[in-house]
Structure formats: C-alpha cells, structure tokens
C-alpha cells in the first residue's frame, strides 16, 4: 500500500479488549469501549473475562451478555459482539454450558501458580495441566477457541515479566495443544521474537495456533521508541512487557507475510491516570490506534491493501468463526499527531504525540 487512500473492510475485528463494568466500571465499560471502537472503525470487539468479579460462572456471564446487548442497542451496532469465558480448575461444567452461547467465542486461560498467584487481576487462572487439556477438548468439541495469556507465574515470581516467562508458557501451550489435534488456540498478545518463532514452527507442523499481534508491540518498545517524553514511563507498562527494538522489528516483519494465522487485537486495557501512576498498573489504552498503526506500518513497509484486509478482518473472521460482510469502504489516510482521549480524558493516552495515518471516510 503506497497511495494516500486505502480500502478497508466494512467489518474490522478487534480480537482482544477489556470492558470492566461490574466493580471496575470507573476504568471503562463495555459501552465506552465499543463507543471508542466505533470511532476507530472497529465493528466487532472480543471481550476478556478478567473482570472483577471474573466471568467464570454463568450468572456473571449472563450479566455481561446483557451489558453487551444493551451497549450494542444504544450504539446502534449491527454486528454481534463477543467474549471469552474464564477457565479455572473448578468450573469445567460451567465452561461447557458457556460454550453453548453464541456470543461466547471460547475459553480464556490465565496461568496460575501453586500459591494462587495469577498473571492477571484477581484470582482467575488455571494451575492444573489436566484442566487445560479438558478445556482444549471442550473447545474442539464445540468448535470454539482456546485463548491463552502466555506468561509463567513461577518465572515471574523469580525474575519478573521477562522473555523467559513468556517463552516458557508458549512452550507449554504448544505441548498441550499438540495433544488435542484440531483444537484452535490463540496465543494472546505475543511480544517477542522467540515466542513468535516457536509458534511459527508449530504452525508448520499443522497446529492451528494464531499469533495475536497488538498495536503497542508493533509501535513501542522498551528502548522508548515512539514514547512521549512528557509522560511518566508507567504509561508504557503493560503485560506482557514491551521488549527491545529487535523484537518489535521482528513482529512488524510478520505483517506482510501471507500467514493466515496472524491476527490483530488491541488488548485495550485502560486505567485512570492516578490509579495507573500510584499502582504502577500494567495495561495500555489502544483500540483507537489499532487501525491507524496498521495503516501507518502498511504505508511505511509497502504492505499490500489485500494483506491489511486480512490482518484487520479476514484472518480473525476465518479463525474465530465469525461471519462478516465482505463489503469495503474507501478512506483517505490523514497524517496527524494523535491527540485522542480515552474515557473522556479520565485515562491518559500514551499514544499522544505519535504521528499516525488515520483513515477518514471518502464521501461518495
């Protein structure tokens, strides 16, 4: 893609976002997230279950589905919105029931240590590998998805959120997936070259495991590339962590390949400014920049318009089993400095100051 116009699919899919609601509605809500997604041309969002309380039982799931339905109605969204159900060592029966809901795309696995330490908020997570195998069998049976947050809590306890922690968990994920042929797995928010290379090798062996790439790992790195120097570095803290520039460059190099098992998710995870600073929380607001980042990198690296469509829509549609419109809209690409707000300015936007290409509709 070299011109200043682009054809984007009518249906763009964000495979990974967070709508807090429940006890954390002050951070963001499903409705707020979908509103920001709509402004950013995202048609379908997939919500994660690490809310407070977590979506690990049917009562909370049904509450979330009502929120999804109400938000969809208020925003006049024509597309169905989706979510994952949280897998634990004690809820396999409820997992099977949850997978029967059309809006539930699959199960989400957050690794849990023996002492109950999880890689995410609260206590949601899985410790027993037998639970993971059972979950993989369930998603295969129901033709759904198994999504995994790849980070090893034992290694994190010893050395922090290192590349070793991510890679060890990717290795474990691949090992388990190989025991359940045909189970479709999403390796969430891959951040480093080593993890990506392991998954690419597994794909060549026929394992249906997608690499989920997020805009912040394609744009920022631990060396401060594209950071706003006026912001506290905590605003670039996320999990998995930002890695060195060579990892960012390798992930970017995957974009133009013809690999159908690469998808894009924003991992939109906002926190209010003061809470982010005081608690040094991990998570970046990112859904409004997802499409501009891909468009910007496509222009820079001469990635074809067809490939952009695959990355933002078709790959996820096929892998996740989401039926979508195959219509397109043409946009002008506007080169401007990002000044977007999240949650009406309650959340500090770390993309502020980044120069990106923003699609603007061309009227017929």
3-state secondary structure at position 188 = strand
Give the separation between CA 173 and CA 150, rounded to whole angstroms: 8
Q: In this prediction, what percent of the chain has a pLDDT beyond 70?
A: 99
The string of pLDDT tens digits covering residues 190-204 is: 999 999 999 999 999
DSSP state of 291: H
Distance CA 176, CA 180 (A): 7
Residue 47: name the closest of 11, 71, 78 by CA.
71
**320-362: per-residue pLDDT in tens?**
999 999 899 999 999 999 999 999 999 999 999 999 999 999 9
- Nearest CA to 192 out of 160, 214, 224, 159 is that of 214
Give all domains of the chain, ordered by start, each with its CATH number: 5-361 (3.20.20.140)
Residue 126 contacts residue 111 (beta carbons within 8 Å): yes
Q: How far apart are CA 291 and CA 256, in angstroms?
A: 15
pLDDT of residue 2: 56
Which pLDDT value is given to residue 121? Answer: 74
CB 262 within 8 A of CB 210: yes
Residue 89 has pLDDT above 70, yes or no: yes
Percent of the chain exceeding pLDDT 90 equals 95
Contact call for residues 109 and 87 (beta carbons, < 8 A): yes
pLDDT tens figures, 267-311: 999 999 999 999 999 999 999 999 999 999 999 999 999 999 999
Q: Report the mean per-residue pLDDT for the chain.
A: 96
What is the model's pLDDT at position 1?
Answer: 56
Output the pTM of the full model.
Answer: 0.97
């Amino acid at each position: 893609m070299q011109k200043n116009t682009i054809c984007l699919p009518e249906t763009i899919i964000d495979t990974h976002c967070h709508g807090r609601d429940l006890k954390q509605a002050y951070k963001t809500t499903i409705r707020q997230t979908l509103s920001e997604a709509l402004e950013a041309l995202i048609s379908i969002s997939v919500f994660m279950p690490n809310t407070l309380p977590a979506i690990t039982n049917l009562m909370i799931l049904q509450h979330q589905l009502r929120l999804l339905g109400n938000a969809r109605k208020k925003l006049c969204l024509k597309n169905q919105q989706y979510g994952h159900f949280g897998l634990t060592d004690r809820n396999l029966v409820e997992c099977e029931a949850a997978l029967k809901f059309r809006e539930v795309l699959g199960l989400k696995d957050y690794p849990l240590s023996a002492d109950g330490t999880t890689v995410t908020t609260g206590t949601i997570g899985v410790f027993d590998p037998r639970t993971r195998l059972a979950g993989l069998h369930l998603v295969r049976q129901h033709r759904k998805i198994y999504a995994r947050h790849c980070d090893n809590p034992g290694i994190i306890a010893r050395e922090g959120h290192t590349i070793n922690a991510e890679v060890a968990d990717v290795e474990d994920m691949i090992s388990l997936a190989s025991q359940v042929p045909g189970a479709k797995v999403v390796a969430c928010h891959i951040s480093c070259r080593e993890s990506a290379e392991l998954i690419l090798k597994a794909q060549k062996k026929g394992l249906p495991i997608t690499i989920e790439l997020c805009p912040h790992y394609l744009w920022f790195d631990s060396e401060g590339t594209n950071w706003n120097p006026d912001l506290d570095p905590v605003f670039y803290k996320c999990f998995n962590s930002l890695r060195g520039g060579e990892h960012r460059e390798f992930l970017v190099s995957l974009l133009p390949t013809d690999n159908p098992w690469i998808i894009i998710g924003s991992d939109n995870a906002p926190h209010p400014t003061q809470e982010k600073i005081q608690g040094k929380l991990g998570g970046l607001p990112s859904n409004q920049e997802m499409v501009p980042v891909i468009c910007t990198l496509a222009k820079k690296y001469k990635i074809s318009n067809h490939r952009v469509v695959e990355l933002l829509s078709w790959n996820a549609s096929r892998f996740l089993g989401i039926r979508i419109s195959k219509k397109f809209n043409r946009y002008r690409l506007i080169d401007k400095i990002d000044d977007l707000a999240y949650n009406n300015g309650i959340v500090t936007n770390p993309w502020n100051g980044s120069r990106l290409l923003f699609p603007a509709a061309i009227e017929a």
